[in-house]
Structure 1
Amino acid sequence: MATVLITGASAGLGLEFAWQLATARYDLVLVARDAERLGRLASQLHAAAGVNVEVLAADLSVRADVERVAERLRATEKPVSLLVNNAGFALHQKFVGGDLAVEERALEVMVRAVLVLSHAAAEQMAARGRGAILNVASIAALFTTGTYAAHKAWVRTFTEGLAVALEGTGVTATVLCPGFVHTEFHERADIDMADYPEIAWLNADAVVATALADVRRGAVISTPSLRYRAVSGVMRLLPRAAVRSIGKYRKQTEPVEDVSTD
């Protein structure tokens, strides 16, 4: 039975990935900071789907923890066939006047960890001649909404380059770029989304199903829903001055972490 490693597995899209993959009979390695919450989820998944579930508690802003996850990805016993780099959190502050330590932590989790874990997975998978890497970015990658958007833009470009580097190895790389998704991401970050109409929102189950289908067919960019594919097309055509003038979140005061991307 194939094994999937999911970061940010205890909430949001990561949780949905865990349930859909368990239902599809994949063994799982679940990564997040909260060991107790991961343990409960592992028990639920095993009871419901009968799959083997490993728990790996790790804070991906801590380099030693990232290395522990990378070592699991390099393992040749029960090798990981699919890596889902999903962990992230909302940067709920202005860059100028904000806490630099928060900015650095975000960079570690949403950029450096993706780089290190993708490298570990790609080497192991390429040596075996099969596997897939799915990096979760966001439609925000096409906007200029601060460092969160910049991190997601890096993930998108990095994954496209990784897909090119992996051609001919039997390993694929896909970047998921959803829009607003019904998870606790914005609520836990205390971001006011009341002005956004219901049509702007996607359901987590549909986003994950689309992403996994795109991984299976080897797509490089996965943008769930026709409306967000249209938004993506428009954003790539707009002058950069126009892009800079739109797409701003309302900001409050304190950053609140989530272990899933939007």
Structure 2
Amino acid sequence: MAKTALITGASSGLGAEYARQLTERGGNLVLVARDRAALEALATQLRARGAEVEVLVADLLKPRQRRAVEERLRDASRPIDLLINNAGFGLPLDFATVDIKREIDHLALHVEVPMRLMHAVLPVMRERGGRILNVASIAAFIPRSTYGAVKSWVISFSRWANQYYDRVTVTAVCPGYTHTNFHERLGLPPGKEGVPDAMWLDAPLVVRESLRDLARGKSVSIPSLRYKVLAALTSVVPDSLLTRLGTRGR
């Protein structure tokens, strides 16, 4: 696996789990998030396990702070071998009632930010090789307001880039409902998401399977058999049924 990985949204959830598993594989890390205290606490844990950890505190929606991350990715003297675009957040499904500024931020964080970060790191990776893991969602296969729409972009671009750049692997990972704090940040208490227990995944499994698929050069990674089947079924199930299914989890 990569020698040095830069992970956005690294302070909790899947980002923190990627950091832990990459540390176990002997990798070094650049952790990016807004929460300095959470980043430093995680960095302390990982350093105790032998990793070299750099902390970059940045709100990726603020141009000056985002540019600092872009410059780190462009630094060929300290190359990034693996970029994990994980930062994100969710919104209520009713687009018409959501503040449009929140929707614009949502679009920027899920599309513009990973696009800028990939654009920054690709010149270095094209010279020496590298890997990019973009966290998408199973929601990309289901009509699900703007969240499904932005994640569809992530998958489409990853599929193209993975074929176009010979020395760079680009993989979109599409988790289903995963036990992290993502839904709690939407104001949903644990157990109140309206999702059957059988549909929930654990973060370690999602990370482990996605890193395996990245190493194998896959364009799209769908952790767990149940979600592979669900993704396949979306091509034949009517949109009316898929849209009802997509109302779960909010």
TM-score (norm 2): 0.94
Aligned in 2, Cα 1:188/1:97: closer, same or farther, shift over 3 Å? closer
Contact persistence 1:145–1:249 (CA under 8 A): no
Secondary structure of the equivalent of 1:31?
strand
Paired position in structure 1 for 2:237: 238
Paired position in structure 2 for 1:80: 80
Aligned in 2, Cα 1:250/1:209: closer, same or farther, shift over 3 Å? closer
Distance 1:53 1:89 in 2: 25
Q: Which has the higher contact order (CA 8 A, sep 6+)?
A: 1
1:236 Cα shift?
A: 2.3
Q: From 163, 172, 177, give the equivalent of 1:175.
A: 172
Q: What is the count of residue pairs matched by the alignment? A: 247
Q: Which runs of 5+ in 2 are unaligned?
A: none
1:28-58 Cα shifts (integer Å, max 9, x gaps): 00000011221121111101x2111000011
**How well do the aligned residues superpose, as a CA RMSD in angstroms?**
1.6
Paired position in structure 1 for 2:18: 17
Secondary structure of the equivalent of 2:178?
strand
1:142 Cα shift?
A: 0.9
1:244 Cα shift?
A: 3.5
Q: Percent identity?
A: 43
Matched, 1:41 2:38: no
Contact persistence 1:33–1:57 (CA under 8 A): yes
Distance 1:75 1:237 in 2: 46
Contact persistence 1:8–1:32 (CA under 8 A): yes
Distance 1:45 1:208 in 2: 17
1:175-225 Cα shifts (integer Å, max 9, x gaps): 000100011111221236443221100010011000111111111110000
Contact persistence 2:93–2:144 (CA under 8 A): no
1:85-133 Cα shifts (integer Å, max 9, x gaps): 00001113621122111111111111100101111122210022x1100
Distance 2:242 2:201 in 1: 23
TM-score (norm 1): 0.89
Moved more, 65-74 or 9-18: 65-74
* Matched AA of 2:132: I
Q: Which runs of 5+ in 1 are unaligned?
A: 252-262
